[in-house]
Amino acid sequence: MQDYQIRIVMRDNRSKVLVNLLPSDFAAIRRAHALLQPGQGVEVWRDGDCIYAHYSHTPGTRSFAGAERSAPRLDYEIRILKDDLQPSLIWKSLYEGDAAAIRAGVRAAAGHPLEIWRDMDCIFRAPQA
């Protein structure tokens, strides 16, 4: 049995974290999906590594709150890093600007090191090297 963190990501980007003792990665992923409500995302973490992530509320889709806004959105890549600064989780998303991307990335990283990239430029890195 291993400890797993299941992070349920709400439509407003708040998250709930549940800690479960489960026999396998597969059991943790099945448990995570059983907890989901429509429009939520989920991440499953084991020993500081994100082993599974699914986001059903990706900005720009009809199910995301505020998707009908007409403000231009930029393409960002958010990288949550392991302690050795190698990528643990990488996802691409659209945000209205650097500040919105940084807020979302910091919230999702929950204290883990991260980088946020817009095009070929790293616009944010935490912790600072």
The per-residue pLDDT for range 46-101, each reduced to its tens digit, is 877 788 888 764 444 433 343 333 456 788 889 988 888 888 888 887 788 899 88
Domain boundaries, the chain: 2-55, 74-126
* Per-residue pLDDT tens digits for 95-129: 888 998 898 888 888 888 999 998 889 999 987 54
Report the chain's C-alpha Rg in angstroms: 15
Q: Considering the entire predicted model, what is its pTM?
A: 0.46
Among residues 16, 76, 25, 69, the alpha carbon closest in space to that of 47 is found at: 25
Residue spans of beta strands (DSSP E) within 15-129: 15-22, 41-46, 49-55, 74-81, 87-95, 114-118, 121-126
